[in-house]
Amino acid sequence: MSGTFHQASWNEPVIFEKSVEGVRSHVPPPVDPKIRDLLGSVDSLLPSEARRSAPLNLPRTPEMQIVRHFTRLSQMNYSVTLGTYPLGSCTMKYNPLVDEIVAGMPGFAWLHPGQDPRTVQGALELMWELEQWIGEITGMDEVTLQPSAGAHGEFTGVMLIREYHRQVTGEWDKRHEMIIPDAAHGTNPASATMAGYKVVVLPSNDEGLVDLDALKEAAGPATAGLMLTNPNTIGVFEKNIEEITGIVHDAGGLVYYDGANLNAIMGIVRPGDMGFDVVHVNLHKTFSTPHGGGGPGAGPVGVKRELADFLPVPRIVRRGDGSFDLDYDRPKSIGKVHGFYGNFGVLIRAYAYIYALGHEGLRRASELAVLNANYVAHHVKQIRGFSLPFSKDAPRMHECVISAKQLKEETGVTAMNVAKRLLDFGVHAPTVYFPLIVEEALMIEPTESESKEDLDRFIAALKQISEEAYTNPELVKSAPHNTAVGLLDEYKAAHPTTLTLSWRMYQQRLKKTQ
């Protein structure tokens, strides 16, 4: 079966190496003298140190060569548009093309964020309405669209919690602890630490859920808040969620919802109703922006009413006459967390996605995501060497975490080896070694967009890999074999003395070795 997939492998130089002096990729039409004069006068407005003196060192390559170059590179890459991409926690769902088309409409794409609000009423209305919708979906009173990622949303949310303790409870200096479960995404403790908090790690109980006794012990007068995702990172719903949020509230803290796992519960339950005070959602996971490779994202943050005054400026407001405007007059605000209003193109995609699906559609998407994850969990846990740790009888939500511990003990083949071997089947690897509470973790999130046939193919691939591990472990350990790039040295690939990140670095390294 793995023989059916072979990735293209081009010995492709970087585009600068294909450059030929004197070649032009594109001959622009002559510039209207009036426009040239205008550009000239714009140029003269720039301070001299900001003006370019030397010509740009761009590659000189015919258009055809450029197109081939990038097509070849894309053939050595992998994407959701090529096959199954069960990267746990990342929600690599298929993003409908219509959302791309809408985001590219000239009326949106050619806007400038510096335009007078009176000239961008449609864009402001779109953002205002999207805020309402995200508030409705999450059960929050007000939303900001500014943060550009989940982690950025977390940081913003934690700053809002800090501001609440500064301006409302006045206990800012006493409440310096943020409670975070040991199964949390690494960004949670990172965001809390960046905002100046001491992180108190909460152990999970033997079901993989929040340990209520440990929480009662941890929560107290030093608690600023608790950061939690639900369903949690092993894909199980925290059944005691109201008790959890109650314990933190009784201790005087607030509760933050890491909404990266919202894909499991849209239109079914709302974090606001579970007792959360602040949430972020990842538009680039749940709401239809393609991601990977660090492209633009958005991590809107929603809050309950008592935190609304602290949201970043500007707030998008609707005036009495129905027009939209930007309100900077918010003296209690934490300030800005992003240039202008956030990543607008991402907001358009989310708007189009929610608009197309509606309440019923979002609910259906979540139901299918949950069904797919349970289908995979049910089949994969039966494969030799794999097991489903924690809350064995609880249904999985959007994802399942499989342990390859037994496989490793019996064959020496690790979760990492399994992940690499999956690439030979034309499947992207699941997330591995996360959450930390599961040994040899394979975190699988099929999302709602995979068909049953795709899931069966994925399950069959894991079955074959298990058989290989017991009969020919070296085959698995030396994988991948059918990809453009073989097994990487994980150390070298991530080490600053060997990692070459740019053409300039490459040239400098080349000079040194000559």
Ligand X SMILES: *Cc1c(COP(=O)(O)O)cnc(C)c1O
- Binder among 150, 157, 435, 446 for ligand X (CB under 6 A): 150
Q: Which CB contacts under 8 angstroms, 24+ apart, belong to 202-207?
A: 202/226, 204/390, 204/437, 206/390, 207/236, 207/390, 207/391, 207/394
Q: State the binding string over 171-210 for ligand X (x if CB under 6 A, else -).
A: --------------x-x-----------------------
User: Segment contacting ligand X (CB under 6 A): 15-23, 59-67, 253-261, 439-447?
Assistant: 253-261
Smaller CB separation from ligand X, 147 or 480: 147
Q: Which CB contacts under 8 angstroms, 24+ apart, belong to 20-28?
A: 20/60, 20/61, 21/60, 22/60, 23/60, 23/61, 23/62, 24/60, 24/62, 25/60, 25/61, 25/62, 25/63, 25/65, 25/66, 26/63
Smaller CB separation from ligand X, 139 or 297: 297
Q: Does 342 bind ligand X (CB under 6 A)?
A: no
Residue 253 to residues 139, 171, 211, 229, Cα–Cα distance (Å): 19, 10, 17, 17
Smaller CB separation from ligand X, 264 or 308: 264
Tell me which DSSP letter residue 215 carries.
Answer: H
Smaller CB separation from ligand X, 124 or 260: 260
User: Cβ 240 to ligand X, closest distance in Å?
Assistant: 19
Q: Does 149 bind ligand X (CB under 6 A)?
A: yes
Q: Does 405 bind ligand X (CB under 6 A)?
A: no
418 and 404 in contact (C-beta within 8 Å)?
yes
User: Cβ 190 to ligand X, closest distance in Å?
Assistant: 10
Phi, psi of 15 (to 5 degrees): -60, -30
User: Segment contacting ligand X (CB under 6 A): 59-67, 144-152, 316-324, 393-401?
Assistant: 144-152
171 token code pair: 């206990």
Q: How are strands ordered across the β-sheet holding 301-303? A: 142-144, 301-303, 278-281, 254-259, 223-228, 177-181, 198-202
Residue 445 to residues 252, 387, 442, 459, Cα–Cα distance (Å): 35, 16, 10, 13
Judged by CB under 6 A, the chain residues 205 through 234 that form the site for ligand X are 229, 233
Judged by CB under 6 A, the chain residues 35 through 64 that form the site for ligand X are none
d(CA 474, CA 412): 9
Judged by CB under 6 A, the chain residues 75 through 114 that form the site for ligand X are 89
Q: Does 346 bind ligand X (CB under 6 A)?
A: no
User: Cβ 165 to ligand X, closest distance in Å?
Assistant: 23
Smaller CB separation from ligand X, 151 or 303: 151
Q: Does 157 bind ligand X (CB under 6 A)?
A: no
User: Cβ 472 to ligand X, closest distance in Å?
Assistant: 35
Cis peptide before 117 (omega within 30 of 0): no
Q: Does 430 bind ligand X (CB under 6 A)?
A: no
Smaller CB separation from ligand X, 233 or 372: 233
Smaller CB separation from ligand X, 295 or 486: 295
Judged by CB under 6 A, the chain residues 272 through 301 that form the site for ligand X are 282, 297, 299
Distance of CA 268 to the CA centre of its chain: 22
DSSP alpha helix (H) spans, 165-301: 187-194, 212-218, 241-250, 271-274, 283-286
User: Cβ 99 to ligand X, closest distance in Å?
Assistant: 18
211 and 204 in contact (C-beta within 8 Å)?
yes
505 token code pair: 């670095």
Of the candidates 359, 259, 283, the one whose C-alpha atom is nearest the C-alpha of residue 131 is 283
User: Cβ 76 to ligand X, closest distance in Å?
Assistant: 24
Task: Count interface residues toward ligand X (CB under 6 A).
Answer: 14
Q: Does 271 bind ligand X (CB under 6 A)?
A: no
Question: Site residues (CB under 6 A) for ligand X?
Answer: 89, 149-151, 185, 187, 229, 233, 258, 260-261, 282, 297, 299
